[in-house]
Structure 1
Amino acid sequence: MEPTRAKVPLDVVIAGGVSGLGGMAAALTLGLRGHNVIVLETARKLTEIGAGIQVAPNMLTLLDRWGVSPSIHTRGVPLERIHIRRWQNGQLLWTRPVNKTHGRQVVIHRADLHQALVDHALALPNVELRTVSTVTGVTFSPASVTLASGAVITGDVVIAADGIKSTIRGHLLGDGSSSPMPTGDAAYRITLPRSAMEQDPDLKRLIAEPVATRWVGPARHIVAYPVRKHELLNVVLLHPDRRGVGECWTTRSPKQSMVDDYRGWDPVVTKLIDLVTDEEVSEWKLCLHEPLKTWTKGCVALMGDACHPMLPYVAQGAAQAVEDAAALGILLSSITSRSEIPLALKVYEKCRKQRAETVQHSGSVNRITLHLPDGPQQEARDEQFRACELGGKSPDRWSDRETQRYLWRWDAEKAALRAWEGRRRHVSRQIRHRL
């Protein structure tokens, strides 16, 4: 499905697009379809942020259509196998080749994926980036945003890709019910260079093989995989959050905190942590908010973390934001009049909200499964892992084939097109009934 040109080219304003992947994905697919797009970014310049990220098949399918996949394959690592290990001794609980039924699963540095989207979007003459542009206010019909500078930018549509701390979400809902809530978990994210790992056989294997490894343990788990063509190892370490509710989301913590959090774990984990410099390490508070009553108002729509933040337990946060972008690209390009914009955005909400919130819930449930304390439930879970070798269902939803089928075979563009055609048939029946 090649991007089709919009029937009515629109002026689209994307708030917060550059700092997140979903906003740039929206700028790209809308730009490819002929819309005029302005992307607003708070920062003065784009910087490399984040660590590794998984490009699941449902996301890669869309990026392939939009011409981005060659850049991803140039810098990413296609996974071949998944290992799940016990926290205490590294015992292999389960291993299986990556399920390629629905496409490849590629892991990449987030900055590389982000740069690929930026490069492809800004190569289009109808996509413009404006930095130092912080959105402080919004109007819905007609659509516009007000910047901290006092400037007002108008458009036919405003898309809020401004993240879990979205300014526009608060204005759209107007009731304060969407405040993010801490989950009780936090994450260290580290990247380790190949050069530091090559002298140790255990560590060399982690960086050299196209394998993702999970260690699961009480109240914690770790995932590690190579990125940048095996030059870096990405490691994410999930653990209980020790900070207060009101404390900032991203902090610098002493390395000793990481050492203490994973004391007694697999010696391979200890070796990884030993490679971290004695400087402070980055720690992220993981937050969510309750499902929203609506994602749209007038000619304004929320997308990505602004309306459905994900916990990193089924590797779908970026993928769901890109699916949002795909649906918006289809629906805003299908209208035949600007008067249909609010309708198109309502159809966007209808075709995306239940899907995204179901995926969001899967991540929350998987957190419980991965973090079981040692005891009868943990032993039953580990036995279920072993039974998977004989074709049973995996207790880890990220590696479960049935869950993968739901997550990975979804085509967000085709789903949006079906939703739009269904809406048109419904309206046509209503007209005939009135006649």
Structure 2
Amino acid sequence: MFNVSLTYPDPIDGRLQFGLREANPNELLGFFERWDPTLIKLLDSAAHTKYWTLLQLPEDNRIWMYNKTEKTAIIGDAAHAMPPCLAQGASQSIEDGAFLGCLFPKNASKEEVTSRLKIFCERRRMRALAAKEKALQVGDILEMTDGPSQEERDSRMKNEADEGFPNPYAYPTVRQWLYTYDVEADVDAAVLHTNIRESV
């Protein structure tokens, strides 16, 4: 079996659909008809095609911590779903888990749960939502329709690597920020700058 996942802006603006659903193979081929013939041949041989709409929540609807008990936090895509354009959905979820693992040593007390979860929400919100924002920017760049903006993008991809470089994977600052993140150091810095009692 061979699985191919492709992203494409919904041609019907404002359409809201949930869950996995059957896709019309001809419609799918129509989306990519001007792409490389090898891709078209691959799509044309597909036995099954499905749609899965990627949805985004407005920031004011995001819940990171359940306020009634203040002892439950939401992590991963449930807290910060993002488009796949920067390949950071699973990465940020794994970082969430690693951050919690470092934030709660074996000897942490029950009394510290709320204060430690507040640290988690504050620190992880900053990084995960920054990754989401960068993913949205990358999507806008990579999914341009043909035209002057696309031609300028293609030219810059061939010739430049400046601050606004369209290919984030080739820009050193973005790569460093994404891939050299030290979760233990981030936890240490977060704990150091709060009034939490460090269990020893």
User: Is the TM value for this pair above 0.5?
Assistant: yes
**Of the candidates 240, 244, 247, which is equivalent to residue 17 of structure 2?**
247
- Checking the alignment, whether the CA contact within 8 Å between 2:84 and 2:135 is kept in structure 1 is yes
Offset at residue 325 of structure 1 (A): 0.4
The answer to whether the aligner puts 1:287 opposite 2:55 as a matched pair is yes
Partner of 1:406: 177
- Checking the alignment, whether the CA contact within 8 Å between 1:308 and 1:357 is kept in structure 2 is yes
- Checking the alignment, whether the CA contact within 8 Å between 2:85 and 2:139 is kept in structure 1 is yes
Q: How does 1:147-162 map to 2 (within 5 A)?
A: none
Instruction: Compare 245-254 and 307-316 and name the one that shifted more.
Output: 245-254
Q: Given residue 72 of structure 2, which amino acid in structure 1 is its aligned partner? A: V
Gap regions ≥5 residues in structure 1: 1-190, 193-233, 429-435
Offset at residue 370 of structure 1 (A): 0.9
The answer to whether the aligner puts 1:395 opposite 2:166 as a matched pair is yes
C-alpha distance in structure 2 between counterparts of 1:259 and 1:312, whole Å: 21
Partner of 1:422: 193
Q: Given residue 184 of structure 2, which amino acid in structure 1 is its aligned partner? A: E
C-alpha distance in structure 1 between counterparts of 2:4 and 2:93, whole Å: 23
C-alpha distance in structure 1 between counterparts of 2:108 and 2:52, whole Å: 44
**Of the candidates 350, 363, 367, which is equivalent to residue 139 of structure 2?**
367
Give TM-score, length-normalised by structure 2: 0.85
Instruction: Indicate how the Cα distance of structure 1 residues 375 and 247 shifts in structure 2: closer, same or farther if over 3 A, else same.
Output: closer
Give TM-score, length-normalised by structure 1: 0.41
Per-residue CA distance 1:293-328 (angstroms, 9 max, x = gap): 651231110101111001000000000001000111
**Of the candidates 119, 122, 126, which is equivalent to residue 350 of structure 1?**
122
- Checking the alignment, whether the CA contact within 8 Å between 1:326 and 1:412 is kept in structure 2 is yes
Q: Given residue 313 of structure 1, which amino acid in structure 2 is its aligned partner? A: C
- Checking the alignment, whether the CA contact within 8 Å between 1:335 and 1:341 is kept in structure 2 is no
Partner of 1:330: 102
Offset at residue 413 of structure 1 (A): 2.9
Partner of 2:74: 302
- Checking the alignment, whether the CA contact within 8 Å between 1:313 and 1:398 is kept in structure 2 is no
Per-residue CA distance 1:238-278 (angstroms, 9 max, x = gap): 2232567343331111221211111122212222212212x
Q: Secondary structure at the match of 2:59?
A: coil
**Of the candidates 267, 270, 274, which is equivalent to residue 40 of structure 2?**
270
Offset at residue 383 of structure 1 (A): 0.7
- Checking the alignment, whether the CA contact within 8 Å between 1:294 and 1:349 is kept in structure 2 is no
The answer to whether the aligner puts 1:236 opposite 2:16 as a matched pair is no
The answer to whether the aligner puts 1:379 opposite 2:151 as a matched pair is yes
Offset at residue 398 of structure 1 (A): 3.8
Q: How does 1:35-434 map to 2 (within 5 A)?
A: 192=2, 234-242=3-11, 245-277=15-47, 280-292=48-60, 295-296=64-65, 297=67, 298-333=70-105, 336-388=108-160, 392=162, 394-424=165-195
Q: Secondary structure at the match of 1:287?
A: coil
Instruction: Indicate how the Cα distance of structure 1 residues 370 and 246 shifts in structure 2: closer, same or farther if over 3 A, else same.
Output: closer
C-alpha distance in structure 2 between counterparts of 1:384 and 1:242, whole Å: 28
Q: Given residue 338 of structure 1, which amino acid in structure 2 is its aligned partner? A: K
- Checking the alignment, whether the CA contact within 8 Å between 1:303 and 1:324 is kept in structure 2 is yes
Gap regions ≥5 residues in structure 2: none
- Checking the alignment, whether the CA contact within 8 Å between 2:162 and 2:171 is kept in structure 1 is no
- Checking the alignment, whether the CA contact within 8 Å between 1:384 and 1:392 is kept in structure 2 is no
- Checking the alignment, whether the CA contact within 8 Å between 2:20 and 2:50 is kept in structure 1 is yes
C-alpha distance in structure 1 between counterparts of 2:169 and 2:4, whole Å: 17
Q: Secondary structure at the match of 1:310?
A: coil
C-alpha distance in structure 1 between counterparts of 2:116 and 2:107, whole Å: 7
C-alpha distance in structure 2 between counterparts of 1:395 and 1:423, whole Å: 38
Structure number with higher helix proportion = 2
Q: Among the aligned pairs, what percent are the same residue?
A: 28
